[in-house]
């Protein structure tokens, strides 16, 4: 079984990913794969330089992610061009990783994809989790995490799909409006539900899920 994991920026998706990994679930992180495909010597990096210019590279030949990020946030066409370069390569590597894990793991494979619905990854998953936080909480967390102004944080949130649209497409919604302990309890309830539903093929105690689900 393949379960997609997504959310909005600064909603706590990475925390959920880490909590699931601690419980033994194999997680394939699209962000990490995205970093891997733009390492020096990779085709994607060469294409980015060809399209966006040599100034996208740092002195050591690695991608200047911050400079590229500024470039695409200012230009929707540039963002779409970058996605066309990266997404097919990311998808190919993730599918290869999924195939390897599926043969050996008793747990569902978690694919952690920030743009799960936007890029059509949900067509390849069996079910999906959305990590939710209210917009004001999102903004405060993003400002603190990335040292952004309120305006910058707002622009980054607005550049994504509305979180409410993702929630509508979710099979399970984890509410991260509180602290990490509250989120961890949400994750444990979800895992209990997976046990009860037979998604996990081991001998741990079954339980039920009391978290929110899409009706």
What pLDDT score does 27 carry? 97
> Can you tell me the distance from the alpha carbon of 136 to that of 19, in angstroms, rounded to the nearest whole number?
24
| Per-residue pLDDT tens digits for 17-61 | 999 999 999 999 999 999 999 999 999 999 999 999 999 999 999
What pLDDT score does 209 carry? 36
Please give the annotated binding residues, written as ranges.
10-15
> Can you tell me the distance from the alpha carbon of 48 to that of 27, in angstroms, rounded to the nearest whole number?
27
Mean pLDDT, to the nearest integer, of 94-108? 91
Q: Which two tokens stand for residue 139?
A: 């903004």
Name the nearest CA neighbour of 132 among 10, 1, 26. 10
Q: Across 63-122, where does the E strand assignment appear?
A: 109-112
Q: Does domain 1-26+105-215 have CATH number 2.40.50.100?
A: no
Q: Which two tokens stand for residue 19?
A: 């909590």
Q: Where are the alpha helices (DSSP H) in 103-203?
A: 135-146, 150-158, 163-169, 180-197
Q: How many Cβ atoms are within 10 Å of 47's Cβ, its own excluded? A: 17
> Can you tell me the distance from the alpha carbon of 121 to that of 131, in angstroms, rounded to the nearest whole number?
16
Cα distances (Å, whole numbers) of residue 166 to 6, 35, 131: 8, 24, 9
* Domain residue spans of the chain: 1-26+105-215, 36-91
- Per DSSP, 160 falls in state S
Q: Which long-range contacts (CB under 8 A, 24 or more apart) does 179-184 make?
A: 180/12, 180/15, 183/12, 183/15, 183/16, 183/19, 184/19
Inter-residue contact 1 to 84 (CB < 8 Å): no
Is the model's pLDDT at 63 over the cut of 70?
A: yes
Backbone angles phi, psi at 111, to 5 degrees: -110, 115
What pLDDT score does 202 carry? 59
Q: Which two tokens stand for residue 74?
A: 């200012």
Please give the annotated binding residues for ATP, written as ranges.
10-15
Question: Which contiguous run of DSSP H or E holds residue 22?
Answer: helix 13-22
For the entire predicted model, the pTM comes to: 0.83
Is the model's pLDDT at 207 over the cut of 60?
A: no
């Amino acid at each position: 079984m393949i379960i997609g994991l997504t959310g909005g920026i600064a909603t706590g998706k990475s925390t959920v990913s880490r909590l699931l990994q601690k419980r033994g679930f194999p997680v394939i992180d699209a962000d990490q794969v995205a970093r891997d495909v733009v390492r020096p010597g990779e085709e994607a990096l060469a294409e980015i330089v060809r399209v966006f210019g040599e100034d996208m590279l740092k002195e050591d030949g690695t991608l200047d992610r911050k400079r590229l990020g500024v470039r695409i946030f200012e230009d929707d066409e540039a963002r779409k061009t970058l996605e066309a370069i990266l997404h097919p390569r990311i998808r190919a590597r993730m599918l290869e990783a999924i195939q390897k894990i599926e043969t050996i793991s008793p747990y569902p494979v978690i694919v952690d994809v920030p743009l799960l619905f936007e890029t059509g990854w949900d067509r390849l998953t069996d079910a999906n989790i959305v990590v939710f936080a209210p917009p004001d909480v999102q903004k405060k967390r993003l400002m603190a995490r990335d040292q952004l102004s309120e305006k910058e944080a707002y622009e980054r949130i607005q550049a994504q799909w509305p979180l409410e649209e993702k929630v509508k497409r979710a099979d399970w919604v984890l509410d991260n409006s509180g602290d990490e302990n509250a989120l961890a309890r949400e994750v444990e309830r979800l895992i209990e539900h997976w046990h009860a539903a037979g998604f996990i093929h081991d001998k741990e105690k079954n339980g039920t899920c009391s978290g929110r689900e899409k009706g």
